[in-house]
């Protein structure tokens, strides 16, 4: 009997990839069919069934679409100085800032029907009008909109960076939809603000396509995220040094209209604590709690302690969600971490291909601070900075209790890891050796450089009999994995574990696994291919990817023909993304 290397799930906390949600909860939140077979029997039928909803009272005229900024403006003092010139801002949360007109001609590069109709209550037909292009790019303001740029600070790559703020984003206001949901609309790439520092306030097609596609893909994976309504592109020239090597190139400007329940960050609190604006710190905390944490009563003496405990738990869920799909955010600064624990700011992200805990998608990250295997540790670091920001409003006893809460982070994360990987392998119940089974698989994947996404997906596509017979000659990821000398031993352990699951059929096991193991993710080479075409005004591949990434758990003929589930092309290994991406 061959001996396995000594492995421990605890030792993998900072190096492997996981999530916290039960399978049923995951399915209900992710937007895909929990009981779908791994076939696309009819792509058109699937599309129709998703959008064949009885929408009533959709808005057909953009002049009838109204936002409100009253809640934000009434709650906080506004910067007393007007103008978009860069300056140090004090004693406020927002500065009024008008978006800069995007020079035309403008074009709709992409749009999300799920957001346009399902969240914004707009008839999809309005997106085809010139008027929509101007509204969605900042050239014209919706009724009730008072554009705001948010003041915040942050720790960037481990160091306090001082005042940061929305340097190329404008919050347009809040929209209350027909379901009573309140969403904040924001333009990204809409021009200079008081926080632009040396920047021009613009985004380019390259980064905007990535933002649009990944935020929507993450939503359909079931990962908490901001949403993207549309992408507007222009002919406006924008200078960019993509890799910060002196090679400045002219690119084209673009704007993404995106949505979130709130844009407040850990850095939103940090700047107030660092500036000793304690009264405003309390005001912001009370506002966030009142609006987004209704189970915490403002009269509760430990309300800020409860807030911290909740944010810690939800942040753990978020990072585990990223990790379960091999997603590396790559710039996990505190100014990129939401107080509501959803993913924002899709810069140099990457979905890991070959399993590697040291995967670093960001070429700007010379020290590998934000490598995928370090994301759990970075989450704890960011929570430490959140606690430091809360310290001015916590008593000494509450600070001590908060430290105890923080010490529980690792245990919570380990539980999430175990739960998620068991779901990915179709395991039910709890057995003592489950952690060993998981860790052994990951070690084999690392040794053989097997593809993370497809290894798990292909395990879910085979019956127990096929696994036993090693019937996967057409499955490239499992073929790579099976080259490991201990693979046969692992398969025997795995099948023996599955056989002890009473009242569980092989079909049900496969179905469960397919619903948590996507067949497609937004690999950087896929995004790059779409970007190159978009820069030549061909948005077909952007649209194709957007559609496919809305059904990531279902096999689709167009995706298979495009090679989105095939072995990545050789040129994919040469791809680089940076903080400018």
**Catalytic machinery residues:** 335
In residues, how long is the chain?
581
Number of C-alpha atoms within 13 angstroms, CB side, residue 258?
31
DSSP state at residue 573: G
Q: Are the C-beta atoms of residues 213 and 542 closer than 8 Å to each other?
A: yes
Tokens of 140: 């014209």
- Helix axis angle, 434-448 to 409-424, nearest 10°: 80
Tokens of 291: 């609006």
Residue 224's φ and ψ, nearest 5 degrees, are: -55, 130
SS3 150: strand
In 3D, which of 388, 386, 380 has the Cα closest to residue 413? 380
Q: Are the C-beta atoms of residues 479 and 515 closer than 8 Å to each other?
A: no
- Residue 382, H or E segment: helix 375-390
Q: Are the C-beta atoms of residues 166 and 150 closer than 8 Å to each other?
A: yes
In 3D, which of 59, 372, 31 has the Cα closest to residue 218? 31
In 3D, which of 315, 318, 301, 334 has the Cα closest to residue 401? 301
DSSP annotation string for 525-542: HHHHHHHHHHTTT--HHH
- List the beta bridge partners of residue 175: 183
Three-state SS sequence of 472-507: CCCCHHHHHHCCCCCHHHHHHHHHHHHHCCCCCCHH
Question: Which residue, chain included where needed, has tokens 């209350």?
Answer: 176
In 3D, which of 522, 517, 519, 523 has the Cα closest to residue 555? 519
Q: Are the C-beta atoms of residues 453 and 351 closer than 8 Å to each other?
A: yes
- Helix axis angle, 396-407 to 409-424, nearest 10°: 30
Distance, CA of 308 to CA of 305 (rounded, Å): 5
Cβ neighbours of residue 114 closer than 8 Å, sequence gap 6 or more = 31, 216, 219, 550
Tokens of 156: 């960037």
Cα 523 to chain centroid, rounded: 14
């Amino acid at each position: 009997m061959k001996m396995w290397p000594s492995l421990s799930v605890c030792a993998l906390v900072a190096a492997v990839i996981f999530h916290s949600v039960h399978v049923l909860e995951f399915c209900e939140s992710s937007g895909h069919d929990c009981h779908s077979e791994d076939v696309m029997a009819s792509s058109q039928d699937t599309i129709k069934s998703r959008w064949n909803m009885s929408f009533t009272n959709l808005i057909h005229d953009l002049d009838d679409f109204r936002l409100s900024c009253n809640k934000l403006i009434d709650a906080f003092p506004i910067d007393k100085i007007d103008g978009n010139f860069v300056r140090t801002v004090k004693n406020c949360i927002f500065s009024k800032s008008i978006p800069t007109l995007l020079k035309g001609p403008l074009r709709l590069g992409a749009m999300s029907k799920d957001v346009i109709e399902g969240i914004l209550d707009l008839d999809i037909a309005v997106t085809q009008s010139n008027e929509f292009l101007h509204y969605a790019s900042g050239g014209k303001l919706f009724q009730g909109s008072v554009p705001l740029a948010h003041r915040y600070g942050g720790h960037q790559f481990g160091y306090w960076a001082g005042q940061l703020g929305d340097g190329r984003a404008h919050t347009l206001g809040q929209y209350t939809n027909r379901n009573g949901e309140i969403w904040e609309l924001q333009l990204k790439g809409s021009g200079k603000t008081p926080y632009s520092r040396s920047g021009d306030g613009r985004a380019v097609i390259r980064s905007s396509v990535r933002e649009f596609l990944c935020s929507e893909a993450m939503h359909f994976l079931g990962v908490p995220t901001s949403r993207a309504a549309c992408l507007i592109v222009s002919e406006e020239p924008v200078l960019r040094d993509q890799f910060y090597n002196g090679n400045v190139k002219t690119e084209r400007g673009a704007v993404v209209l995106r949505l979130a329940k709130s844009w407040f960050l850990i850095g939103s609190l940090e700047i107030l604590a660092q500036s000793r604006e304690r009264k405003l710190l309390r005001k912001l905390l009370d506002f966030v709690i009142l609006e987004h944490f209704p189970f915490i009563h403002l009269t509760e003496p430990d309300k800020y302690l409860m807030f911290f405990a909740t944010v810690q738990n939800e942040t753990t869920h978020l990072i585990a969600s990223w990790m379960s799909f091999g997603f590396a955010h790559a710039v996990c600064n505190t100014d990129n971490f939401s107080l509501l624990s959803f993913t924002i700011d899709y810069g140099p992200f990457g979905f890991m291909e070959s399993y590697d805990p040291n995967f670093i998608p960001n070429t700007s990250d010379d020290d590998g601070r934000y490598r995928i295997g370090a994301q759990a540790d970075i989450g704890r670091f960011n929570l430490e900075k959140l606690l430091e920001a809360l310290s001015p409003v916590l008593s000494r006893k509450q600070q001590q209790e908060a430290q105890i809460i923080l010490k529980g982070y690792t245990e919570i994360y380990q539980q999430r890891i175990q739960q998620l990987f068991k779901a990915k392998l179709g395991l039910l119940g709890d057995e003592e050796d489950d952690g060993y089974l998981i860790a052994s698989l990951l070690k084999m994947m690392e040794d053989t450089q097997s593809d993370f996404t497809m290894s798990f997906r292909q395990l879910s596509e085979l019956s127990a009999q096929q696994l036993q017979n090693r019937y996967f000659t057409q499955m490239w990821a499992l073929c790579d994995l099976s080259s490991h000398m201990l693979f046969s031993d692992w398969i025997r352990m795995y099948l023996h574990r599955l056989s002890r699951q009473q009242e569980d059929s092989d079909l049900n096991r496969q179905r469960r696994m397919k619903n948590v193991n996507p067949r497609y993710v937004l690999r950087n080479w896929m995004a790059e291919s779409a970007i190159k075409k978009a820069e030549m005004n061909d948005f077909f591949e952007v649209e194709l990817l957007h559609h496919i990434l809305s059904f990531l758990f279902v096999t689709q003929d167009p995706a298979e023909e495009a090679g989105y589930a095939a072995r990545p092309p050789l040129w994919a290994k040469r791809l680089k993304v940076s903080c400018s991406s």
